[in-house]
Amino acid sequence: MSGGVDSSLTAALLKEQGYNVTGVYMKNWTLDIPGFVCPWKEDYNDAKRVAVILGIPFKVYDFEKQYRRKVVNYLIEGYKKGITPNPDIICNQEIKFKLFLNTALSDGADLIATGHYARVIKGHLLKAIDESKDQTYFLYRMPPESLNKVLMPIGNMLKKDVRKEAKKRNLPTADKKDSQGICFIGRVGIKEFLVNELGPQVPGDIIDEQGRVIGRHEGAIFYTIGQRHGLNVGGGLPYYVTGKNMAKNQVFVTTILNDDTLWKRDIKLTEFHWTYPNFDLDKSPLEAITRYRSKPVKATLKVSAKSAKLRLEEPARAITPGQSAVIYAEDKVIGGGIII
């Protein structure tokens, strides 16, 4: 129970369905950052209040050390290399559906449940009914064996109905806003977090598509492919980041939206993960999503022992190293990999 409306209603629904429910708050991150207060105490108290109202036991699992090692360090090292890692995906892979699952099972649980917008049917991960809230992009690296031990009851509901049902049950989180920003930091932005962890970065040149230096950046690690805001290059058409040279501390930009460097059809993936093991890739048409909430694009996929090659039927914009491409067959999540 994270202290939000989704996990609150999940607990309520499962209790009503006859399950013996215990609420668990995962304490993953408690540090404040200058100018930003970590909301973990507020979230913890909200989760506990809901548990009291539901009359269920409530526990805290302290995973802060493991979280720093598995997720936070992964994020920092990725940015230092010049890529844009996705900590939410690694959190689900390493913490929620591995460490939390194993801890809960050893603590006497038969199953775990979360408030994710996704569906698990017969051990397969499927998109949520509410497509605008679907979270399978972040869940594709779940260990396949965990899918037989997980319940996601609100995956069959629309977000508006989740809030409506929470209000019916007088849950204090019914109108609580959804959390924003990085999964473990909450309200703070990635730039502020990286400065806090790594200190100020060395400024460098911003170079346009014609090779001209048009401005200065505050550190190449802060910029990601397709980024428009935060460049501080004034006047005229907006600029978009097309690439970086970390060795030379350069950021490359363009004002041309159809610039070839911004659009790709062929994508190489590493660390490919099968969410649906042994799926026959010739069995049905495939679609790919190359960033959260991006439009699904028809695609073909070839997977070898060490890597995968994804070819999109239509070019996609701002393909970003470190982010993931996730593969679907209709509503079913087949797998995915990290873009290189």
Q: What backbone torsions phi and psi does residue 333 show, to the nearest 5 degrees?
A: -85, 120
* Sequence-distant (≥ 6) Cβ neighbours of residue 147 within 8 angstroms: 120, 123, 124, 125
Quick check: is 183 catalytic? Answer: yes
Distance CA 198, CA 193 (A): 9
Q: Give the C-alpha distances (Å, rounded to integers) separating 58 from 33, 105, 151.
A: 28, 16, 18
Distance CA 141, CA 324 (A): 10
Query: Amino acid identity of 197?
Result: E
Q: With helix as H, strand as E and coil as C, how does 50-91 read? A: HHHHHCCCEEEEECHHHHHHHHHHHHHHHHHHCCCCCHHHHH
Question: Which of 9, 83, 91, 312 is an active site residue?
Answer: 91
Q: Check: CB of residue 26 under 8 Å from CB of residue 61.
A: yes
Distance CA 187, CA 126 (A): 29
Query: Which structure tokens are listed for 96?
Result: 């929620």
* Pairing assessment for the beta strands 263-274 and 307-317 based on DSSP bridges: antiparallel
Q: Check: CB of residue 56 under 8 Å from CB of residue 16.
A: no
Quick check: is 38 catalytic? Answer: no
Question: Which of 99, 142, 152, 183 is an active site residue?
Answer: 183
- State the catalytic residues: 91, 183
